[in-house]
Protein backbone atom coordinates (compact mmCIF):
# COMPACT_ATOMS: atom_id res chain seq x y z
CA UNK A 1 0.00 0.00 0.00
CA UNK A 2 2.83 2.43 0.91
CA UNK A 3 4.63 1.71 -2.37
CA UNK A 4 1.46 2.30 -4.30
CA UNK A 5 0.81 5.59 -2.52
CA UNK A 6 4.42 6.63 -3.19
CA UNK A 7 4.06 5.85 -6.87
CA UNK A 8 0.86 7.91 -7.05
CA UNK A 9 2.51 10.81 -5.28
CA UNK A 10 5.49 10.75 -7.65
CA UNK A 11 3.16 10.64 -10.63
CA UNK A 12 1.12 13.57 -9.25
CA UNK A 13 4.22 15.63 -8.59
CA UNK A 14 5.60 14.82 -12.03
CA UNK A 15 2.33 15.81 -13.59
CA UNK A 16 2.31 19.01 -11.56
CA UNK A 17 5.86 19.80 -12.54
CA UNK A 18 5.07 19.01 -16.20
CA UNK A 19 2.00 21.22 -16.10
CA UNK A 20 3.95 23.90 -14.30
CA UNK A 21 6.70 23.63 -16.91
CA UNK A 22 4.23 23.89 -19.74
CA UNK A 23 2.33 26.70 -18.08
CA UNK A 24 5.60 28.45 -17.33
CA UNK A 25 6.69 28.13 -20.91
CA UNK A 26 3.37 29.49 -22.11
CA UNK A 27 3.23 32.40 -19.61
CA UNK A 28 7.02 32.82 -19.25
CA UNK A 29 7.04 33.67 -15.49
CA UNK A 30 9.89 35.99 -14.48
CA UNK A 31 10.06 35.08 -10.76
CA UNK A 32 9.28 32.16 -8.50
CA UNK A 33 6.39 34.05 -6.97
CA UNK A 34 4.78 34.56 -10.34
CA UNK A 35 5.32 30.87 -11.08
CA UNK A 36 3.61 29.93 -7.78
CA UNK A 37 0.63 32.12 -8.59
CA UNK A 38 0.38 30.59 -12.03
CA UNK A 39 0.35 27.07 -10.56
CA UNK A 40 -2.34 28.06 -8.11
CA UNK A 41 -4.55 29.53 -10.78
CA UNK A 42 -4.12 26.44 -12.93
CA UNK A 43 -5.12 24.22 -10.00
CA UNK A 44 -8.28 26.28 -9.52
CA UNK A 45 -9.18 25.94 -13.20
CA UNK A 46 -8.70 22.17 -13.12
CA UNK A 47 -10.82 21.91 -9.99
CA UNK A 48 -13.69 23.77 -11.68
CA UNK A 49 -13.42 21.51 -14.73
CA UNK A 50 -13.51 18.39 -12.57
CA UNK A 51 -16.61 19.63 -10.81
CA UNK A 52 -18.31 20.38 -14.14
CA UNK A 53 -17.49 16.88 -15.37
CA UNK A 54 -18.81 15.31 -12.19
CA UNK A 55 -22.04 17.29 -12.60
CA UNK A 56 -22.43 16.09 -16.24
CA UNK A 57 -21.77 12.52 -15.19
CA UNK A 58 -24.48 12.68 -12.49
CA UNK A 59 -26.94 14.15 -15.00
CA UNK A 60 -26.14 11.42 -17.54
CA UNK A 61 -26.55 8.79 -14.88
CA UNK A 62 -29.96 10.13 -13.90
CA UNK A 63 -31.00 10.37 -17.57
CA UNK A 64 -29.94 6.76 -18.22
CA UNK A 65 -31.88 5.59 -15.21
CA UNK A 66 -34.94 7.43 -16.52
CA UNK A 67 -34.51 5.88 -20.00
CA UNK A 68 -34.15 2.45 -18.43
CA UNK A 69 -37.44 2.89 -16.60
CA UNK A 70 -39.12 4.02 -19.81
CA UNK A 71 -37.73 1.00 -21.71
CA UNK A 72 -39.03 -1.34 -19.03
CA UNK A 73 -42.44 0.26 -19.30
CA UNK A 74 -42.47 -0.08 -23.10
CA UNK A 75 -41.40 -3.71 -22.82
CA UNK A 76 -44.22 -4.46 -20.41
CA UNK A 77 -46.75 -2.78 -22.75
CA UNK A 78 -45.47 -4.70 -25.77
CA UNK A 79 -45.63 -7.98 -23.89
CA UNK A 80 -49.25 -7.29 -23.01
CA UNK A 81 -49.94 -6.33 -26.67
CA UNK A 82 -48.25 -9.52 -27.88
CA UNK A 83 -50.42 -11.63 -25.60
CA UNK A 84 -53.49 -9.85 -26.94
CA UNK A 85 -52.43 -10.37 -30.59
CA UNK A 86 -51.66 -14.04 -30.00
CA UNK A 87 -55.06 -14.59 -28.55
CA UNK A 88 -56.65 -12.71 -31.46
CA UNK A 89 -54.59 -14.75 -33.97
CA UNK A 90 -55.79 -18.01 -32.44
CA UNK A 91 -59.38 -16.82 -32.67
CA UNK A 92 -58.96 -15.72 -36.32
CA UNK A 93 -57.18 -18.96 -37.27
CA UNK A 94 -60.15 -20.92 -35.95
CA UNK A 95 -62.46 -18.61 -37.91
CA UNK A 96 -60.41 -19.04 -41.11
CA UNK A 97 -60.49 -22.82 -40.73
CA UNK A 98 -64.25 -22.68 -40.33
CA UNK A 99 -64.51 -20.50 -43.46
CA UNK A 100 -62.35 -22.91 -45.41
CA UNK A 101 -64.51 -25.83 -44.39
CA UNK A 102 -67.57 -23.81 -45.31
CA UNK A 103 -66.02 -22.91 -48.70
CA UNK A 104 -65.09 -26.53 -49.43
CA UNK A 105 -68.63 -27.61 -48.48
CA UNK A 106 -70.24 -25.01 -50.72
CA UNK A 107 -67.89 -25.72 -53.63
CA UNK A 108 -68.68 -29.39 -53.60
CA UNK A 109 -68.17 -30.80 -57.10
CA UNK A 110 -66.82 -27.43 -58.30
CA UNK A 111 -63.56 -28.21 -56.53
CA UNK A 112 -63.07 -31.25 -58.75
CA UNK A 113 -64.07 -29.14 -61.73
CA UNK A 114 -61.45 -26.52 -60.84
CA UNK A 115 -58.86 -29.27 -60.63
CA UNK A 116 -59.64 -30.40 -64.17
CA UNK A 117 -59.71 -26.81 -65.39
CA UNK A 118 -56.33 -26.13 -63.78
CA UNK A 119 -54.81 -29.21 -65.44
CA UNK A 120 -56.30 -28.26 -68.82
CA UNK A 121 -55.16 -24.66 -68.52
CA UNK A 122 -51.64 -25.79 -67.59
CA UNK A 123 -51.40 -28.11 -70.60
CA UNK A 124 -52.78 -25.42 -72.89
CA UNK A 125 -50.31 -22.87 -71.51
CA UNK A 126 -47.41 -25.25 -72.28
CA UNK A 127 -48.69 -25.67 -75.84
CA UNK A 128 -49.26 -21.97 -76.40
CA UNK A 129 -45.77 -21.10 -75.17
CA UNK A 130 -44.27 -22.77 -78.25
CA UNK A 131 -47.20 -22.38 -80.66
CA UNK A 132 -46.57 -20.10 -83.61
CA UNK A 133 -50.22 -19.04 -83.39
CA UNK A 134 -49.15 -16.99 -80.35
CA UNK A 135 -47.00 -14.93 -82.72
CA UNK A 136 -50.25 -13.68 -84.27
CA UNK A 137 -52.28 -13.62 -81.04
CA UNK A 138 -49.94 -12.65 -78.17
CA UNK A 139 -50.96 -12.46 -74.51
CA UNK A 140 -52.80 -15.77 -74.29
CA UNK A 141 -50.41 -17.34 -71.81
CA UNK A 142 -50.75 -14.37 -69.42
CA UNK A 143 -54.51 -14.92 -69.30
CA UNK A 144 -54.03 -18.62 -68.55
CA UNK A 145 -51.55 -17.86 -65.77
CA UNK A 146 -54.07 -15.53 -64.13
CA UNK A 147 -56.82 -18.15 -64.49
CA UNK A 148 -54.66 -20.86 -62.91
CA UNK A 149 -53.78 -18.53 -60.05
CA UNK A 150 -57.46 -17.85 -59.37
CA UNK A 151 -58.44 -21.52 -59.43
CA UNK A 152 -55.63 -22.36 -56.99
CA UNK A 153 -56.48 -19.45 -54.68
CA UNK A 154 -58.61 -19.79 -51.56
CA UNK A 155 -59.92 -16.23 -51.81
CA UNK A 156 -60.65 -15.80 -55.54
CA UNK A 157 -62.92 -17.60 -57.97
CA UNK A 158 -62.80 -17.53 -61.79
CA UNK A 159 -65.74 -16.00 -63.59
CA UNK A 160 -67.91 -17.73 -66.16
CA UNK A 161 -66.40 -15.50 -68.87
CA UNK A 162 -62.87 -16.63 -67.97
CA UNK A 163 -63.85 -20.31 -68.06
CA UNK A 164 -65.52 -19.75 -71.44
CA UNK A 165 -62.40 -18.02 -72.73
CA UNK A 166 -60.38 -21.11 -71.79
CA UNK A 167 -62.66 -23.17 -74.03
CA UNK A 168 -62.41 -20.46 -76.72
CA UNK A 169 -58.58 -20.52 -76.71
CA UNK A 170 -58.57 -24.31 -77.04
CA UNK A 171 -60.93 -24.14 -80.00
CA UNK A 172 -59.04 -21.27 -81.60
CA UNK A 173 -55.73 -23.17 -81.39
CA UNK A 174 -57.39 -26.14 -83.12
CA UNK A 175 -59.02 -24.03 -85.83
CA UNK A 176 -55.93 -21.90 -86.51
CA UNK A 177 -53.91 -25.09 -87.03
CA UNK A 178 -55.75 -25.58 -90.33
CA UNK A 179 -55.34 -22.05 -91.67
CA UNK A 180 -52.75 -20.29 -93.81
CA UNK A 181 -52.89 -16.59 -92.97
CA UNK A 182 -50.86 -13.43 -93.50
CA UNK A 183 -50.34 -10.78 -90.84
CA UNK A 184 -47.89 -7.92 -90.24
CA UNK A 185 -45.32 -8.50 -87.52
CA UNK A 186 -41.83 -7.56 -86.39
CA UNK A 187 -39.13 -9.91 -87.66
CA UNK A 188 -35.55 -10.00 -86.38
CA UNK A 189 -32.94 -10.43 -89.12
CA UNK A 190 -29.75 -12.49 -88.62
CA UNK A 191 -27.90 -9.17 -88.19
CA UNK A 192 -30.17 -8.24 -85.25
CA UNK A 193 -32.26 -5.63 -87.07
CA UNK A 194 -35.99 -5.51 -86.37
CA UNK A 195 -38.20 -4.93 -89.41
CA UNK A 196 -41.98 -4.85 -89.73
CA UNK A 197 -42.98 -7.07 -92.62
CA UNK A 198 -45.68 -9.46 -93.76
CA UNK A 199 -45.52 -12.92 -92.21
CA UNK A 200 -47.20 -16.06 -93.57
CA UNK A 201 -48.24 -18.65 -90.99
CA UNK A 202 -48.82 -22.21 -92.22
CA UNK A 203 -51.11 -23.67 -89.57
CA UNK A 204 -49.09 -24.54 -86.50
CA UNK A 205 -46.11 -25.73 -88.53
CA UNK A 206 -44.00 -22.94 -90.02
CA UNK A 207 -43.64 -19.17 -90.35
CA UNK A 208 -42.46 -17.57 -93.61
CA UNK A 209 -41.55 -14.02 -94.55
CA UNK A 210 -40.02 -12.65 -97.77
CA UNK A 211 -39.48 -16.19 -98.99
CA UNK A 212 -37.50 -17.22 -95.90
CA UNK A 213 -38.28 -19.51 -92.99
CA UNK A 214 -38.68 -18.02 -89.50
CA UNK A 215 -38.42 -19.40 -85.99
CA UNK A 216 -40.53 -18.46 -82.96
CA UNK A 217 -37.99 -17.93 -80.19
CA UNK A 218 -38.39 -18.41 -76.45
CA UNK A 219 -38.49 -14.61 -76.04
CA UNK A 220 -41.73 -14.55 -78.07
CA UNK A 221 -40.06 -13.04 -81.13
CA UNK A 222 -39.92 -14.11 -84.76
CA UNK A 223 -36.45 -14.32 -86.26
CA UNK A 224 -35.07 -15.45 -89.60
CA UNK A 225 -33.21 -18.73 -89.51
CA UNK A 226 -29.51 -18.01 -89.82
CA UNK A 227 -29.24 -20.89 -92.28
CA UNK A 228 -32.01 -21.47 -94.78
CA UNK A 229 -32.89 -24.67 -96.69
CA UNK A 230 -32.05 -25.14 -100.38
CA UNK A 231 -33.23 -22.83 -103.11
CA UNK A 232 -36.21 -24.98 -104.16
CA UNK A 233 -37.82 -24.61 -100.75
CA UNK A 234 -37.16 -20.86 -100.68
CA UNK A 235 -38.68 -20.48 -104.15
CA UNK A 236 -41.77 -22.38 -102.99
CA UNK A 237 -42.00 -20.16 -99.90
CA UNK A 238 -41.87 -17.04 -102.09
CA UNK A 239 -44.57 -18.49 -104.33
CA UNK A 240 -46.82 -19.10 -101.31
CA UNK A 241 -46.28 -15.55 -100.04
CA UNK A 242 -47.28 -14.08 -103.41
CA UNK A 243 -50.28 -16.36 -104.00
CA UNK A 244 -53.83 -15.22 -103.25
CA UNK A 245 -55.88 -18.40 -103.75
CA UNK A 246 -55.65 -21.96 -104.96
CA UNK A 247 -53.02 -24.53 -104.05
CA UNK A 248 -49.29 -23.79 -103.82
CA UNK A 249 -46.61 -26.43 -103.37
CA UNK A 250 -44.57 -25.49 -100.29
CA UNK A 251 -42.33 -27.42 -97.92
CA UNK A 252 -43.46 -27.58 -94.27
CA UNK A 253 -42.06 -29.36 -91.25
CA UNK A 254 -44.73 -31.24 -89.26
CA UNK A 255 -42.29 -32.28 -86.52
CA UNK A 256 -42.00 -28.91 -84.79
CA UNK A 257 -43.69 -25.51 -84.78
CA UNK A 258 -40.40 -23.60 -84.79
CA UNK A 259 -38.37 -25.90 -87.00
CA UNK A 260 -38.32 -29.54 -86.01
CA UNK A 261 -36.05 -32.43 -86.88
CA UNK A 262 -36.90 -32.52 -90.59
CA UNK A 263 -36.18 -28.85 -91.21
CA UNK A 264 -33.07 -28.97 -89.01
CA UNK A 265 -31.75 -31.98 -90.91
CA UNK A 266 -32.50 -30.25 -94.20
CA UNK A 267 -30.77 -27.05 -93.11
CA UNK A 268 -27.76 -28.76 -91.56
CA UNK A 269 -27.17 -30.95 -94.60
CA UNK A 270 -24.19 -29.48 -96.48
CA UNK A 271 -24.72 -28.40 -100.06
CA UNK A 272 -22.57 -29.37 -103.03
CA UNK A 273 -19.98 -26.63 -102.48
CA UNK A 274 -19.67 -27.44 -98.77
CA UNK A 275 -19.26 -31.13 -99.57
CA UNK A 276 -16.49 -30.21 -101.99
CA UNK A 277 -14.71 -28.15 -99.33
CA UNK A 278 -14.89 -31.12 -96.95
CA UNK A 279 -12.47 -32.95 -99.23
CA UNK A 280 -9.67 -30.63 -98.11
CA UNK A 281 -6.36 -30.35 -99.94
CA UNK A 282 -6.66 -33.76 -101.61
CA UNK A 283 -10.11 -32.82 -102.87
CA UNK A 284 -8.78 -29.60 -104.35
CA UNK A 285 -5.97 -31.54 -106.10
CA UNK A 286 -8.46 -34.04 -107.53
CA UNK A 287 -10.65 -31.20 -108.77
CA UNK A 288 -7.71 -29.45 -110.41
CA UNK A 289 -6.55 -32.70 -112.08
CA UNK A 290 -10.09 -33.44 -113.23
CA UNK A 291 -10.55 -29.93 -114.64
CA UNK A 292 -7.24 -30.18 -116.50
CA UNK A 293 -8.15 -33.61 -117.89
CA UNK A 294 -11.60 -32.44 -118.96
CA UNK A 295 -10.21 -29.38 -120.74
CA UNK A 296 -7.53 -31.49 -122.39
CA UNK A 297 -10.10 -34.06 -123.53
CA UNK A 298 -12.43 -31.39 -124.92
CA UNK A 299 -9.50 -29.71 -126.70
CA UNK A 300 -8.30 -32.98 -128.26
CA UNK A 301 -11.87 -33.89 -129.21
CA UNK A 302 -12.27 -30.57 -131.01
CA UNK A 303 -8.88 -30.93 -132.70
CA UNK A 304 -9.57 -34.49 -133.87
CA UNK A 305 -13.05 -33.55 -135.03
CA UNK A 306 -11.50 -30.79 -137.16
CA UNK A 307 -8.78 -33.13 -138.47
CA UNK A 308 -11.37 -35.79 -139.21
CA UNK A 309 -13.44 -33.31 -141.20
CA UNK A 310 -10.36 -32.33 -143.23
CA UNK A 311 -9.49 -36.01 -143.80
CA UNK A 312 -13.04 -36.69 -145.02
CA UNK A 313 -12.77 -33.70 -147.33
CA UNK A 314 -9.43 -35.07 -148.61
CA UNK A 315 -11.04 -38.40 -149.38
CA UNK A 316 -13.44 -36.65 -151.74
CA UNK A 317 -10.70 -34.60 -153.41
CA UNK A 318 -8.33 -35.86 -156.14
CA UNK A 319 -5.62 -33.35 -155.23
CA UNK A 320 -3.45 -33.90 -152.16
CA UNK A 321 -3.54 -31.05 -149.64
CA UNK A 322 -0.95 -30.80 -146.91
CA UNK A 323 -3.36 -29.24 -144.35
CA UNK A 324 -4.41 -32.72 -143.15
CA UNK A 325 -2.58 -35.98 -142.33
CA UNK A 326 -4.05 -37.88 -145.30
CA UNK A 327 -2.98 -35.19 -147.74
CA UNK A 328 0.56 -35.25 -146.42
CA UNK A 329 0.67 -39.06 -146.77
CA UNK A 330 -0.63 -38.80 -150.32
CA UNK A 331 2.03 -36.21 -151.17
CA UNK A 332 4.69 -38.70 -150.09
CA UNK A 333 3.27 -41.20 -152.59
CA UNK A 334 3.05 -38.53 -155.32
CA UNK A 335 6.66 -37.49 -154.63
CA UNK A 336 8.02 -41.04 -155.14
CA UNK A 337 6.24 -42.48 -158.21
CA UNK A 338 9.22 -44.55 -159.40
CA UNK A 339 9.91 -46.48 -156.20
CA UNK A 340 9.43 -50.20 -156.06
CA UNK A 341 6.64 -51.69 -153.99
CA UNK A 342 8.68 -52.51 -150.91
CA UNK A 343 10.37 -49.10 -150.75
CA UNK A 344 7.05 -47.31 -151.30
CA UNK A 345 5.49 -49.37 -148.52
CA UNK A 346 8.27 -48.34 -146.18
CA UNK A 347 7.87 -44.70 -147.19
CA UNK A 348 4.13 -44.84 -146.60
CA UNK A 349 4.55 -46.49 -143.21
CA UNK A 350 7.07 -43.82 -142.28
CA UNK A 351 4.64 -41.05 -143.31
CA UNK A 352 1.83 -42.61 -141.26
CA UNK A 353 4.13 -42.97 -138.24
CA UNK A 354 5.02 -39.25 -138.49
CA UNK A 355 1.33 -38.33 -138.33
CA UNK A 356 0.48 -40.74 -135.50
CA UNK A 357 2.03 -38.74 -132.54
CA UNK A 358 0.08 -35.58 -133.38
CA UNK A 359 -3.13 -37.57 -133.75
CA UNK A 360 -2.70 -39.53 -130.50
CA UNK A 361 -1.36 -36.56 -128.49
CA UNK A 362 -2.92 -36.32 -125.01
CA UNK A 363 -4.52 -39.78 -125.08
CA UNK A 364 -2.06 -41.29 -122.62
CA UNK A 365 -2.35 -38.32 -120.27
CA UNK A 366 -6.15 -38.60 -120.24
CA UNK A 367 -5.81 -42.31 -119.54
CA UNK A 368 -3.38 -41.66 -116.70
CA UNK A 369 -5.74 -39.07 -115.16
CA UNK A 370 -8.63 -41.55 -115.29
CA UNK A 371 -6.47 -44.08 -113.41
CA UNK A 372 -4.87 -41.65 -110.91
CA UNK A 373 -8.10 -39.86 -109.85
CA UNK A 374 -9.58 -42.78 -107.86
CA UNK A 375 -6.18 -43.41 -106.29
CA UNK A 376 -6.07 -39.79 -105.11
CA UNK A 377 -9.59 -40.25 -103.74
CA UNK A 378 -8.48 -43.32 -101.84
CA UNK A 379 -5.53 -41.36 -100.49
CA UNK A 380 -7.82 -38.64 -99.18
CA UNK A 381 -10.12 -41.22 -97.61
CA UNK A 382 -7.26 -42.95 -95.81
CA UNK A 383 -5.81 -39.68 -94.48
CA UNK A 384 -9.29 -38.55 -93.41
CA UNK A 385 -9.91 -41.80 -91.56
CA UNK A 386 -6.55 -41.45 -89.82
CA UNK A 387 -7.53 -37.98 -88.60
CA UNK A 388 -10.95 -39.27 -87.50
CA UNK A 389 -9.44 -42.08 -85.44
CA UNK A 390 -6.94 -39.66 -83.92
CA UNK A 391 -9.87 -37.47 -82.83
CA UNK A 392 -11.60 -40.53 -81.36
CA UNK A 393 -8.41 -41.37 -79.45
CA UNK A 394 -8.30 -37.86 -77.97
CA UNK A 395 -12.00 -37.11 -77.36
CA UNK A 396 -13.49 -40.60 -77.22
CA UNK A 397 -16.31 -42.18 -79.19
CA UNK A 398 -19.17 -40.75 -77.15
CA UNK A 399 -20.56 -38.66 -80.01
CA UNK A 400 -21.62 -40.89 -82.95
CA UNK A 401 -22.71 -37.83 -84.92
CA UNK A 402 -19.21 -36.36 -84.82
CA UNK A 403 -17.73 -39.70 -85.88
CA UNK A 404 -20.19 -39.98 -88.75
CA UNK A 405 -19.34 -36.44 -89.83
CA UNK A 406 -15.61 -37.22 -89.89
CA UNK A 407 -16.10 -40.43 -91.86
CA UNK A 408 -18.43 -38.62 -94.27
CA UNK A 409 -15.80 -35.96 -94.87
CA UNK A 410 -13.18 -38.65 -95.46
CA UNK A 411 -15.34 -40.37 -98.07
CA UNK A 412 -15.87 -37.14 -100.01
CA UNK A 413 -12.46 -37.54 -101.66
CA UNK A 414 -13.41 -41.02 -102.86
CA UNK A 415 -16.52 -39.57 -104.45
CA UNK A 416 -14.49 -36.79 -106.06
CA UNK A 417 -12.02 -39.33 -107.42
CA UNK A 418 -14.80 -41.38 -108.99
CA UNK A 419 -16.54 -38.27 -110.29
CA UNK A 420 -13.30 -37.36 -112.09
CA UNK A 421 -12.33 -40.88 -113.17
CA UNK A 422 -15.62 -41.89 -114.81
CA UNK A 423 -15.84 -38.87 -117.19
CA UNK A 424 -12.13 -39.25 -117.96
CA UNK A 425 -12.63 -42.88 -119.00
CA UNK A 426 -15.52 -41.87 -121.25
CA UNK A 427 -13.53 -38.92 -122.59
CA UNK A 428 -10.57 -41.18 -123.35
CA UNK A 429 -12.88 -43.57 -125.16
CA UNK A 430 -14.36 -40.81 -127.34
CA UNK A 431 -11.02 -39.18 -128.15
CA UNK A 432 -9.32 -42.52 -128.78
CA UNK A 433 -12.10 -43.61 -131.15
CA UNK A 434 -11.68 -40.40 -133.17
CA UNK A 435 -7.92 -40.89 -133.31
CA UNK A 436 -8.23 -44.57 -134.26
CA UNK A 437 -10.67 -43.68 -137.04
CA UNK A 438 -8.22 -41.17 -138.56
CA UNK A 439 -5.31 -43.59 -138.24
CA UNK A 440 -7.43 -46.32 -139.81
CA UNK A 441 -8.12 -44.09 -142.81
CA UNK A 442 -4.41 -43.32 -143.15
CA UNK A 443 -3.48 -47.02 -142.98
CA UNK A 444 -6.23 -47.91 -145.43
CA UNK A 445 -5.23 -45.28 -147.97
CA UNK A 446 -1.51 -46.04 -147.69
CA UNK A 447 -2.20 -49.75 -148.14
CA UNK A 448 -4.33 -48.97 -151.21
CA UNK A 449 -1.56 -46.85 -152.73
CA UNK A 450 0.99 -49.64 -152.17
CA UNK A 451 -1.40 -52.18 -153.73
CA UNK A 452 -1.92 -49.99 -156.79
CA UNK A 453 1.85 -49.59 -157.20
CA UNK A 454 2.30 -53.36 -156.95
CA UNK A 455 -0.31 -53.89 -159.66
CA UNK A 456 1.42 -51.44 -161.97
CA UNK A 457 4.75 -53.11 -161.39
457 residues of the chain, pLDDT tens digit each: 333 434 443 344 344 444 434 433 445 667 777 777 777 677 667 777 778 888 888 888 888 888 888 898 899 899 989 988 998 888 888 888 877 777 666 666 667 777 788 888 888 888 888 888 888 888 888 888 888 888 777 677 788 888 888 889 889 888 888 888 888 888 888 888 888 888 888 888 888 888 888 888 777 888 888 778 876 888 888 888 788 777 888 877 777 654 456 777 777 777 778 788 888 888 899 999 999 999 999 999 999 999 989 888 888 887 788 888 888 888 888 887 777 778 888 888 888 898 898 888 989 999 999 999 999 999 988 888 887 787 777 766 666 666 766 777 788 899 999 999 999 999 999 999 999 999 998 888 888 888 888 887 6
Q: How many residues does the chain have?
A: 457
| Beta partners for residue 209, in sequence order | 212
Rounded Cα distance, 347 and 134, in Å? 92
Rounded Cα distance, 265 and 253, in Å? 11
pLDDT at 2: 36
Provide the whole-model pTM. Answer: 0.55
Q: Where are the domains of the chain?
A: 2-63, 108-176, 179-267, 278-456
Name the residue among 45, 42, 49 with its Cα closest to residue 25.
42
Cβ atoms < 10 Å from Cβ of 89 = 10
Contact assessment for residue 414 and residue 381, using Cβ atoms and an 8 Å cutoff: yes
Rounded Cα distance, 391 and 126, in Å? 41
Amino acid sequence: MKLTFAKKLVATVAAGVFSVGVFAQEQKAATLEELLNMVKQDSLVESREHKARESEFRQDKNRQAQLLEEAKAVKANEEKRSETLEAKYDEQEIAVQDKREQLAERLGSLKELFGHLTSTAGDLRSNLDVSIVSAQYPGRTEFLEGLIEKMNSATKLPSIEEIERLWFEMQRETIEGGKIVKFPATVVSPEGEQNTQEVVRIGTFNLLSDGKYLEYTESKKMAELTRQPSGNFLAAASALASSTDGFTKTGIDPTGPSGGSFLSALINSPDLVERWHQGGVVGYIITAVGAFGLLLGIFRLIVLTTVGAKVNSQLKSSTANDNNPLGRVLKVAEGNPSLDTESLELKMEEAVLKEKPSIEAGLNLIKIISAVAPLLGLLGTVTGMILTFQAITIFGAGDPQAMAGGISSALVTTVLGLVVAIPMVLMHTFVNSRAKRILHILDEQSAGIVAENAERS
